[in-house]
Amino acid sequence: MQRLKRKVLVICTANSCRSQMAEGLINHELGDEWLAYSAGTNPSSVNPRAVQVMAEIGIDISGHHSKSVDVFLDRDDLDLVVTVCDHAREVCPAFPGNVSQEHIGFDDPAYLNDQPDEVALPVLRRIRDQIRLILLDYLKARFERNL
């Protein structure tokens, strides 16, 4: 028996790095079980370093763009909303229907924007790997419990 794919929206402030990496990881590694989207409470543009560290593990997010969380407020097909930063958790709007909302926070790499690659890239790799380990394990377990 084939189970239905669940839909998750991952939200951070700018939809530039953490939520973009999470969307790419979920769709690449859990695509049989989950369909991921990402958005920001104050969207900007995708961080080129996020694109770079994702490409290092074979995931292309170069076609992603930052989106506002407002785009998703009228959707009634989301199963889960996950905030990945404290600011997004504080200002995240309520979603209609029976959608669960969770917070799984990760460090904000924005402070590295003006730093050289040798300083910034190791931090982005660590955050990417933490998202891969923590968030994906959470979603796997949640899918197995059938939400």
Over residues 41-64, mean pLDDT:
97
**Residue 1 lies inside a defined structural domain of this protein:** no
Task: Write down the catalytic residue from 8, 12, 25, 78.
Answer: 12
Q: Is the pLDDT of residue 146 over 80?
A: no
pTM of the model: 0.94
Q: Is position 104 within any domain?
A: yes
Which of 8, 17, 50, 85 is an active site residue? 85
pLDDT at residue 48 tops 90? yes
In a domain, 71, yes or no: yes
For the cut 60, the answer to whether the pLDDT of residue 143 exceeds it is yes
Q: What is the residue range of 11's domain?
A: 6-144
Selection from 12, 43, 46 nearest residue 135 by Cα: 12
Residue 22 lies in a domain: yes
Q: How many domains does the chain have?
A: 1
Q: What is the CATH number of the domain that holds 107?
A: 3.40.50.2300
Q: Locate all alpha helices (DSSP H) within 13-108, ordered by sequence.
A: 18-29, 48-55, 86-91
pLDDT in tens, 9-38: 999 999 999 999 999 999 999 999 999 999
Residue 1 has pLDDT above 70, yes or no: no
Query: Could you confirm whether 17 is annotated as catalytic?
Result: no
Q: Which of 53, 54, 92, 139 is labelled catalytic?
A: 92
